[in-house]
Amino acid sequence: MRSTVATLLAKELTLEWRTRESVPAMVLFSIATYVVFHFGLDRDRVTGDLASGVLVVTLLFAAILGINRLFVAEHEQGGFDGFLLAPVDRTAMLVAKAVALFCFLCIVEVFALPAFALLLLGPPLTQALPALVLVLLLANAGIAVIGTLVAGLAIQTRARDLIVPLLALPLLVPVVLAAARSATPLLQDGGAGALPGNWMAMLAIYDLLFALIAFAVFDFLLED
Q: Tens digits of per-residue pLDDT, 23-71?
A: 999 999 999 999 898 888 877 788 888 888 999 999 999 999 989 888 7
Picking from 214, 41, 64, 200, the residue whose alpha carbon sits closest to that of residue 116 is: 41
Query: Whole-angstrom Cα distance, residue 198 to residue 135?
Result: 13
Q: For residues 94, 95, 99 and 102, what is the CA-based torsion angle, rounded to 10 degrees? A: 50
Query: In whole angstroms, what is the distance from residue 38 CA to residue 66 CA?
Result: 24
Q: What pTM was computed for the model? A: 0.90
The total of other beta-carbon atoms located within 10 Å of residue 165's CB is 16
Domain that holds residue 67: 2-223
pLDDT tens digit sequence for 174-212: 999 999 999 888 888 766 667 778 999 999 999 999 999
Among residues 181, 143, 140, the alpha carbon closest in space to that of 165 is found at 143
Closest CA to 222 of 29, 65, 92: 92
Alpha helices in 120-196 (DSSP H): 129-154, 160-183
Residue 188 gets the label, from left (phi > 0), alpha (psi -120 to 50) or beta, of beta
Tally of domains in the chain: 1
